[in-house]
Amino acid sequence: MSNFFFRQSDLSVSDIETNKRYRNNAYVQIITGSNVILPVDANTVTSTYNYTKNVLGGNHTGRAAPTLGEVKIALEGEYGSLKKVEFEFICYDKPSFDDLEPKILKPGSVIDIKYGYAGPSNKSMKGSGRFRVYDFSFNISQENHFQCKVKAVGAGNDYEKLQMGGQQSIPDNLKFVTNYSGTNTTKIVQNYFDYWDYRFQVAYGRNDSKNFKETDGAARKSEFSNMMYYDNANGVTKKGGTTYGFYGILKAPGGFEASTRQNLGAGTRNRLFYTSLSVIVDQVNAVILKKTAYQMAFHKEWSKLNYRYDGADATFHICSASPFELLFPYTADTKHGNSYDPDDNSSYPIKMAKFNNDSAGLQYCAINGDKQDGNAAGILVCREMLRAIELDLQDMAKREDASTEESDKADGGMDIELFFKKLFATIRDNSGGAFDLKLDHRDGFDDIIFIINKKAPIGNDKVVSVKLDPISGKNGIRNIGIEGKVPKDIQAKAFGGDSTTTKSIKSMTDDEQETRKKATADETKTLKEKYRNARQDMTDRDFSSDTTTALKSVLKDIVLERDTRDVGNGSSIEPTPYPLSFKASFDGIEGLNFGDTFSSTYLPSRYQFDSGLRVVFTLIKYEHIIKDNDWETSIECISRIVDETDR
């Protein structure tokens, strides 16, 4: 069982405790282009001493060649998406400084770093990375030495400011219809949002027609072979598998109002236009990211949605609170969550079963079907929501005031990160918090921007912690520690003499447990009724805004009850209520990943279980320090609760 935040490490204890490496035999190289520039290539004492003359071809200064000091490489950030390097070097004369300064001490300079152990090695004994310099400093010492410090960030962290506006890679002179009123008004595609309209119209062959009169449930499908990743049996992340895209149309109810809606032609009822999130990703890859180093992608596990509510007496699926913004489609046999008209008494309900009227129908977009397999790629996004995001981005400057931070001020652009933040915030809001998506970069995939769900359910594969043994006598492990951070509210109670804080878990009697089970069953029944009534009320009251607000409230209650009850089954990725951190350091090793699971044979036994309900420690940060021919790796983990009792 694993997800983005909890996974089986690629490393084993034998990798860490290996006897095949030699401490104090580590190396590190700073490379620009194909040339190693630090440490300098000076093989003898004489060449080191005569570096300025023999290597640089200048006058002999009597000073030594530049020396490389400490190099620190770290994986950090909220989700392990930021890889950084800091290093120091000293130039002992001005000619050598003049040689290195334009190669390194310049914002935007690209450097490669290689590090590892000299001699016998395997994949865990050497590493490399590409970085971009973003900060540096130097000062001149009393001895006229140039003491330099450099900070650089890893590749894959500069996609945030890529722009959605402008024509990007959109072919010239593409036109889309803005009004089907009979005059067939068209305009040139100017940005991604126009491009979405253009692609939708082309999909239905309506790019030059006099109206957009399609049947209720008319659908189109597409297939993509380059945007899904998965972890193989060895835990290695690979690209593969088909991702299905979906276009869908539903008749809009009478309550549908939007300033951005199109005139679809005489006699044509308003329609709701949807595409799957996978279609949006494909379009962004094609027109926004085509000329960059990046592509967006999903992952079979990291992008998975926890869409089910399984109560004692009820099972249902989470719907979207506003079908004018989003739809979460499920198969036609789903009793709850696939219709906003459970009583089936409306002439114009919003029912995803209508998509089955088309051969490219519901089976291709249903989140719980075998085509989407629970992935976020199947979420249906409504055209009006995309246009609302466009307007919001355009109006950002109007909302600025004296308190607006300089970095937050609008610059006339529409950057890709902000677009997806707004899209994902709407998905989170409409799912009651069940679907919490985020763009992230995984170490080792410099050119991929992954869409991950922070509340992805854990899979069925077994995860066994890497147990570090500091007293085995085997070379490798240097330090291990665990720290309990008592929450502030508990600290305050204990300080005030509250004796109830001495027990973090209260044991219940059999009668109390039975009462708790009955209360849970009653709550499930209540939630089921509230959920059904809220959806029916939307249809009966023509999808008014207050019914959307009411349904959002019910969805939040459902998700809160589910996640509180199932905190151990992977629906929550937050630290435990009583946070613990685990830290360790050992001889340098490559191959660590965010989410790797660790423990130690020297910790209390309750932290060493490999099955059932237990505490695990998952990696959130690592740091390599290479200095004086020594390579040390340190890790920091936080505790999470998982439960494999029923798996």
Per residue, the 3-state secondary structure of 70-83, as one string, reads EEEEEEECCCCCEE
Nearest one of 325, 432, 452 to 386, comparing CA atoms: 325
| Nearest-angstrom CA–CA distance, 377 and 408 | 30
- Are 632 and 639 in contact by the 8 Å Cβ rule? The answer is no
pLDDT digits (tens, 9 = 90+) for 334-366: 555 677 877 766 566 677 888 876 677 788 889
Residue 526, domain member (yes or no): yes
Domain final residue pick, 535, 558, 581: 558
| Nearest-angstrom CA–CA distance, 572 and 586 | 30
Domain CATH code at residue 601: 2.40.30
Structure tokens at 133: 């310099």
Check residue 457 and report its DSSP letter.
Answer: P
Q: Per-residue DSSP letters for 239-270?
A: E-S-EEEEEEEEEPPTT---TT-----TT---
76 and 145 belong to one structural domain: yes
43 and 144 belong to one structural domain: yes
Residue 165: the pLDDT is 63
Give the CA angle between residues 619, 623, 628 to the nearest 5°. 150
> What range does the domain containing 548 cover?
502-558
| Nearest-angstrom CA–CA distance, 510 and 320 | 39
Helical residues (DSSP H) of 56-121, grouped into ranges: 94-104
Residue 262, domain member (yes or no): no
Check residue 351 and report its DSSP letter.
Answer: B
Residue 631, domain member (yes or no): yes
User: How many other C-beta atoms can be found within 10 angstroms of the C-beta atom of residue 433?
Assistant: 17
524 and 634 belong to one structural domain: no
- Are 283 and 192 in contact by the 8 Å Cβ rule? The answer is yes
Nearest one of 74, 70, 75 to 28, comparing CA atoms: 70
524 and 551 belong to one structural domain: yes
Nearest one of 341, 177, 333 to 263, comparing CA atoms: 177
- Are 244 and 227 in contact by the 8 Å Cβ rule? The answer is no
Residue 526: the pLDDT is 84
| Nearest-angstrom CA–CA distance, 246 and 281 | 12
Q: Which residues are CB-neighbours of 426 under 8 A, at least 6 positions away?
A: 325, 326, 385, 389
- Are 430 and 320 in contact by the 8 Å Cβ rule? The answer is yes
User: How many other C-beta atoms can be found within 10 angstroms of the C-beta atom of residue 71?
Assistant: 23
| Nearest-angstrom CA–CA distance, 347 and 168 | 43
Residue 341: the pLDDT is 77
Domain final residue pick, 154, 171, 206: 154
525 and 594 belong to one structural domain: no
User: How many other C-beta atoms can be found within 10 angstroms of the C-beta atom of residue 628?
Assistant: 8
Check residue 320 and report its DSSP letter.
Answer: P
108 and 76 belong to one structural domain: yes
Burial status of residue 356 (CB atoms within 10 A of its CB: 0-12, 13-18, 19 or more) = middle
- Are 341 and 553 in contact by the 8 Å Cβ rule? The answer is no
Residue 25: the pLDDT is 84
Residue 575: the pLDDT is 39
Residue 139: the pLDDT is 96
Nearest one of 60, 123, 131, 124 to 92, comparing CA atoms: 60
- Are 235 and 7 in contact by the 8 Å Cβ rule? The answer is yes
The stretches in the chain having pLDDT less than 50 are: 411, 502-510, 512-519, 568-577, 647
Number of folded domains that form the chain: 3
pLDDT digits (tens, 9 = 90+) for 585-608: 999 999 898 889 998 888 777 777
Rounded alpha-carbon distances, angstroms, from residue 414 to 288, 496, 550: 11, 52, 32
Q: Which residues are CB-neighbours of 205 under 8 A, at least 6 positions away?
A: none
| Nearest-angstrom CA–CA distance, 547 and 533 | 10
Residue 33, domain member (yes or no): yes
Burial status of residue 167 (CB atoms within 10 A of its CB: 0-12, 13-18, 19 or more) = middle
Residue 141, domain member (yes or no): yes
Burial status of residue 378 (CB atoms within 10 A of its CB: 0-12, 13-18, 19 or more) = buried
| Nearest-angstrom CA–CA distance, 451 and 163 | 18
22 and 105 belong to one structural domain: yes
Residue 28, domain member (yes or no): yes
Residue 323, domain member (yes or no): no
530 and 610 belong to one structural domain: no
Burial status of residue 487 (CB atoms within 10 A of its CB: 0-12, 13-18, 19 or more) = exposed
For 444-447, which contacts have Cβ atoms below 8 Å and span 24 or more sequence positions?
444/237, 444/593, 445/156, 445/237, 446/130, 446/154, 446/155, 446/156, 446/293, 447/155, 447/156, 447/293, 447/294, 447/295
107 and 129 belong to one structural domain: yes
559 phi and psi angles, rounded to 5 deg: -65, -40
154 phi and psi angles, rounded to 5 deg: -70, 160
| Nearest-angstrom CA–CA distance, 388 and 291 | 27
552 and 630 belong to one structural domain: no
| Nearest-angstrom CA–CA distance, 456 and 304 | 5
- Bond from prior residue into 39 cis (ω within 30 degrees of 0): yes
| Half-sphere exposure in the Cβ direction for 444 (13 Å, CA) | 9
516 and 620 belong to one structural domain: no
Q: H-helix or E-strand containing 14?
A: helix 13-16
Residue 612, domain member (yes or no): yes
* DSSP strands (E only) in 337-383: 380-382
Domain final residue pick, 513, 533, 558: 558
Q: What is the pTM for the complete model shown?
A: 0.82
Residue 604: the pLDDT is 79
506 and 639 belong to one structural domain: no
Nearest one of 439, 445, 448 to 417, comparing CA atoms: 439
